[in-house]
Amino acid sequence: MKLSRRSVKVFKIRNRKGYAAVYANNLTEGKHPDQAFARMEKAVCRKGKK
């Protein structure tokens, strides 16, 4: 499943280094916004297989 950047909310985590991405009850973290988004794509793909 291909995600669009507009459907995923990526934001800076307060009091921590890095960014978080939220989409459909999934939360992922990464050092950069692109990394958080890439991890979200993988998480949604895994959830879709179950």
pLDDT per residue over 1-50, tens digit each? Answer: 678 889 999 999 999 999 999 998 899 999 999 999 999 999 998 877 66
Reported pTM: 0.85
CA distance 19 to 22: 10
CA distance 5 to 3: 7
Largest CA distance in the chain: 34
Instruction: Report CA-CA distances (Å) from 26 to 12, 37, 46, 49.
Output: 16, 11, 11, 15
* Region class of 27: left (phi > 0), else alpha (psi between -120 and 50), else beta: beta
